Amino acid sequence: MSGASPNPSSEEDVPGPVGRGNSGGWRGPESAVEWERRLLSRAVLMQGRRCRPRCGTLGGMAIRILGINGGIRPGGTAERALRFTLRALEAEGARCETFEIGALPILDGRADDQYPAAVAAWRAACTAADGFVLVVPSYHGGAPGSLKNALDFIDLPHAAGKPFAVIGIAGGDAEPGVTDVTRVMRHIGGIAGVPDVVISRAGEHWGSGDDPANKSVAFAIAKVSDDLVALCTLRADGKLPQP
């Protein structure tokens, strides 16, 4: 896992490995095979839609997604999950960028012009984005402090009216970090219009590779990526509520 040791929950306390928080999903009694079968069925139904021009562009301009890694350890599970998700978004036609939040100082109340240039660069990256994808490890039952600190540097002018997706990943229960970040993003005006992806017991369901060991995780991320790009396209076309 990225950063400190994950929340040490037992398997009995941990939800199903892939959760779809905003609209329900795999939670306990439904097996991985059944979840995968439902996703495959949906994929078949979506083939006609995918034959149309990709929705990740509008007027020749690519939808811009900012990827944010809440765990700052290079090569950690959160970073691998973010890279995998960005590839899925790019397959939908989006242009993806990332920002290293570890470069940000602690928010301490000083005047804006007294912060280093990294703060202005972070705010500019958020302002330029059409949407966000945040990968969130859980440390001691919540989101990492470094991610909360980064989000504290932005507000309505940078995030309001923009769709976002949250992918939680932890060796124990990944849901607490997802809940924390979703609450903050909604508070600063983000649109929680796609389901969360909650990957608990990451050592088992993601593994040590660049791609998830559990195929259901890959299907869930692909679906959320498709939905996020579609929502960002609607926003760019003026079809979502504006702040």
Say which residue, 229 or 242, is predicted with more confidence.
Answer: 229
pLDDT at 38 over 60: no
Specify burial of residue 69 (Cβ count, 10 A radius: 0-12, 13-18, 19+): buried
Give the domain ranges of the chain. 18-40+62-236
pLDDT at 18 over 60: no
User: CATH second-level architecture of 18-40+62-236?
Assistant: 3-Layer(aba) Sandwich (3.40)
Q: Which of 3-17, 26-40, 108-122, 172-186 has the least mean pLDDT?
A: 3-17
pLDDT tens-digit series, residues 196-240: 999 999 999 999 999 999 999 999 999 999 999 999 999 999 999
- Residue 46's pLDDT band, with cuts at 50, 70 and 90, is very low
**Average pLDDT over every residue of 141-147:** 95
pLDDT tens-digit series, residues 84-135: 999 999 999 999 999 999 999 999 999 999 999 999 999 999 999 999 999 9
pTM score of the predicted model: 0.80
